[in-house]
Amino acid sequence: MAEPGIIRKLDENVVNRIAAGEIVQRPANALKELIENSLDANATNIIITVKAGGLKYLQIQDNGTGIRHDNLDIVCERFTTSKLQQYEDLQEISTYGFRGEALASISYISHLTILTKTAADKCAYKASYENGKLKGPIKACAGNNGTQITVEDLFYNVLARKKSLRSATEEYSHIMEVVGGYAIHNSHVGFTLKKFGENTDIKTSIKSTVVENIRILKLFFLKLDPRNVDVNVHPTKHEVQFLYEEQIIDKIKSCIEAKLLSCNSSRVMYTQA
């Protein structure tokens, strides 16, 4: 018979890297977290720049509150947050984030740099992170109010994941989906998405409406009574179950039909004389 194994506590870095891999499975997951942080920081303008589907380079620039200089040493540690102080706060939390895990996770599986300036600070500060910790000194530099986060070489130390994500094009399409979704629902925020050195793929204005954004992004969305949606089918709510699915499809069909028919009745036909 084999002898029982010896139980040992895992090294903190190993635990955190495993946890990071669960939170961030592809560049679009990292971007989702970063966009939510910018929105939580009351940004009204968010610019995203991507290289190689976000695997090589993913940068997000916002004009939000910025991060305090004296918080830059702990901002990437696990479970550090400015959004929640005690358990009871959860009942009234109105931010996307509260667990303080996102930046930490990303810093365990990439090279992460933060450039940030608060309105009260005279200059911006730049800091690089590795495994939740500051890497080198914080440097004073020029910069606008807000925060710019750069994520380079995502999954450089998670080789299996890196191998499974081969297509930059596919990763970019997931990124487009994420940006499109947040852009529609946050019509008071201007979103820009582009590949490094190329033209913009998504651009919404601070002043645009939800309907205008839908038109720009060529997406579609549905407003449903929450009682008719079962959200408990997927842990990240990536998928939800519609109750009355057939009726919903019928309704969409009849809406489109009515729209198309009304176009038809007002079409101007030119005839040759």
CA distance 57 to 51: 5
Calculate ∠ Cα 72-75-171, nearest 5°.
115
Q: Which does 83 bind (CB under 5 to 8 A by kind): Mg ion, ligand ADP, none?
A: ligand ADP
User: With respect to ligand ADP, which residue has the nearer C-beta, 102 or 183?
Assistant: 102
Please check whether residue 165 is in contact with residue 26, taking contact to mean a CB–CB distance below 8 angstroms.
Answer: yes
Q: Which does 51 bind (CB under 5 to 8 A by kind): ligand ADP, Mg ion, none?
A: none
* Surface-to-core class of residue 209, CB atoms within 10 Å of its CB (0-12 exposed, 13-18 middle, 19+ buried): exposed
Backbone angles phi, psi at 10, to 5 degrees: -70, 145
Please check whether residue 17 is in contact with residue 132, taking contact to mean a CB–CB distance below 8 angstroms.
Answer: no
Alpha carbons within 13 angstroms on the beta-carbon side of residue 1 total: 3
**Per rule CB under 6 A, is residue 62 in the interface with ligand ADP?**
yes
**Per rule CB under 5 A, is residue 37 in the interface with Mg ion?**
yes
Q: Quick one: CA torsion of 155, 161, 164, 167, rounded to 10 degrees?
A: -20
Q: Which does 132 bind (CB under 5 to 8 A by kind): ligand ADP, Mg ion, none?
A: none
**Per rule CB under 5 A, is residue 180 in the interface with Mg ion?**
no
**Per rule CB under 6 A, is residue 103 in the interface with ligand ADP?**
yes
Residues 80-99 that bind ligand ADP (CB under 6 A): 81-83, 97-99
Give the binding-site size for ligand ADP (rule: CB under 6 A).
23
State in Å, rounded, how far the first CA of the chain is from the last one. 98
Q: In this chain, which stretch among 100-108, 169-177, 202-210, 216-224 interacts with ligand ADP, using CB under 6 A?
A: 100-108
Q: In this chain, which stretch among 32-40, 125-133, 155-163, 201-209 interacts with ligand ADP, using CB under 6 A?
A: 32-40
CB 138 to Mg ion: min, Å: 21
The binding site for ligand ADP (CB under 6 A) comprises 33, 37-38, 40-41, 62, 64-67, 75, 81-83, 97-104, 147
The binding site for Mg ion (CB under 5 A) comprises 37, 97, 102
